[in-house]
Structure 1
Amino acid sequence: MTKVTAQLSVSVDGFYAGPQHTGDGDWMDSAESAAFFRVTRWVTDAMAWRERQGFTGGERDVNSDVVAESFTSAGAYVMGRRMADGGEVPWGEEPPFRAPVFVVTHRPRERLLRQGGTSFTYVTDGVASAVEQARAVAGGKNVAVAGGGSLVRQVLKAGLLDELELHVVPVVLGTGLRLFDADLDLGEKEGIELMPTRVIPTPQVTHIRYAVTGRAALVLDDRGSGGGPTTTRDV
């Protein structure tokens, strides 16, 4: 069964990149880039990622297996325009996706065909439409929300995400682009409930997969009210 999935590498304090680079200058020299490459170092070191990019070397380990699994399970992708524009040149004529990619954007563009089975379709009528179009061509595999973080939040906010995998890297960044932000529009007494389904710890990163169970009210329970078991501590 096709699921809508997303995954992102984040620091312990929840950032997936440094402060957004909006001025002149090379993005590769920016604070945004430095933090992004710190939290994705485990990916670029993985043999499965390097092979998919046409590079040699890399580590064949658990992290590489996680990368390989993510490529194998995806039948189509949904992507933000900033990521698509930024990757167009580095990815070259044979991008690593090898599947249809649907780019959420406000700026129309003709469909872009690349070698190896990758195509980029630019969707201007919203994230729900992009997910629906991706699901239609995924061939029973997953629809992978490739990012960035703003797009992952949009899909989560719309209630379209079935599974979220966070790759938590043991570093504290302190500032930058945060995955979870106020634009989820949660009520004061509302949360989005997640259920852990898999945890894989490694020295470089901890992979935590969650099933997204949806929005729910935050209900005060009766612990400490005398209505049930309580725990006391002598001071």
Structure 2
Amino acid sequence: MSLTRIHNMSISLDGFATGEPQSADAPFGHAGERLHEWMFATRFWGAGGTEGVDDAFAARHNIGCGAEIMGANKFGPPGWQDDSDWKGWWGPNPPFHTPTFVLTHHPRPPIEMAGGTTFHFLQASPAEALATAAEAAGGLDVRIGGGATVVRDFVAAGLVDHMHLVQVPIVLGRGVRVWDGLEALEDSYDIEAVSSPSGVTHLTFTRRVGDGA
């Protein structure tokens, strides 16, 4: 049975997964790259990176996933829907290598990229998007790629089986938070915290049997 998973989503101590304002020059707003420096230092990110706890968690990102769902703000900066040439932040060969479904109020024809990534643009509820992505995944798992609003919506809908968040020791104060509206999340998930020498804490949430939507 395929699972719905979230991996490597970094959040600040106060729960923000991105700062503000987002722009083409600042994809994560005033947070800059501070939320993801732990990952940039790993072998998963690039040759010569470190091994250890951070790398082990980061490397789980791609294993067994056959499709991804992401929000409009992960795909591009505000206004990308009006730019017919915009194909995402990642260049001609995006790192997904699977069908990738972008949730947007402005659907457009699919964009086929190098390396096996095809972007599909959907206006759909979380449950509808997941059903479409699961079919495309061909029995493999579906990854919810973010941003924070999409993660929050899928968790609130009871659709996420496994979630890996990385708490980074910074305070952003503003941006988009993951936790809003997710009171008592611990009632439905087994939660494990693993501290890393880099200073981040890896939080894993695994849905308890019988707590599916």
Name the TM-score class by shorter chain.
0.7 to 0.9
* Alignment correspondent of 2:81: none
Structure 2 CA distance, aligned partners of 1:175 and 1:194? Answer: 28
Q: Which runs of 5+ in 2 are unaligned?
A: 78-85
Q: How does 1:36-51 map to 2 (within 5 A)?
A: 36-50=32-46
Paired residues of 1:97 and 1:118 also in contact (CA < 8 A): yes
Matched, 1:73 2:64: yes
Structure 2 CA distance, aligned partners of 1:4 and 1:107? Answer: 25
1:59 aligned counterpart, secondary structure: coil
Structure 1 CA distance, aligned partners of 2:58 and 2:192? Answer: 15
1:159 aligned counterpart, secondary structure: coil
Stretch deviating more after TM superposition (57-66 or 99-108) = 57-66
Matched, 1:107 2:103: no
Q: How many residues align?
A: 199
Structure 1 CA distance, aligned partners of 2:88 and 2:68? Answer: 18
TM-score norm. by structure 1 comes to: 0.75
- Structure number with greater CO (CA < 8 Å, separation at least 6) is 2
1:129 aligned counterpart, secondary structure: helix
CA deviation string 1:123-152 (max 9, x = no partner): 113222211111112233221100100011
Paired residues of 2:76 and 2:89 also in contact (CA < 8 A): no
* Alignment correspondent of 1:16: 17
Supply the AA of the counterpart residue of 2:19: G
Percent identity reads 32
Q: Over aligned residues, Cα RMSD in angstroms?
A: 2.4
1:89 to partner: Cα distance: 4.6
Q: 1:41 to 1:178 in 2, by over 3 A?
A: same
Structure 1 CA distance, aligned partners of 2:120 and 2:151? Answer: 18
TM-score norm. by structure 2 comes to: 0.82
Matched, 1:195 2:182: no
Paired residues of 1:199 and 1:206 also in contact (CA < 8 A): yes
* Alignment correspondent of 1:209: 204
Q: Which runs of 5+ in 1 are unaligned?
A: 51-55, 216-235
Supply the AA of the counterpart residue of 1:153: R
* Alignment correspondent of 1:85: 76
1:194 to partner: Cα distance: 4.0
1:91 aligned counterpart, secondary structure: coil
Structure 2 CA distance, aligned partners of 1:95 and 1:132? Answer: 23
* Alignment correspondent of 1:139: 138
CA deviation string 1:48-105 (max 9, x = no partner): 123xxxxx54323331222221112322100111211249453111100111101111
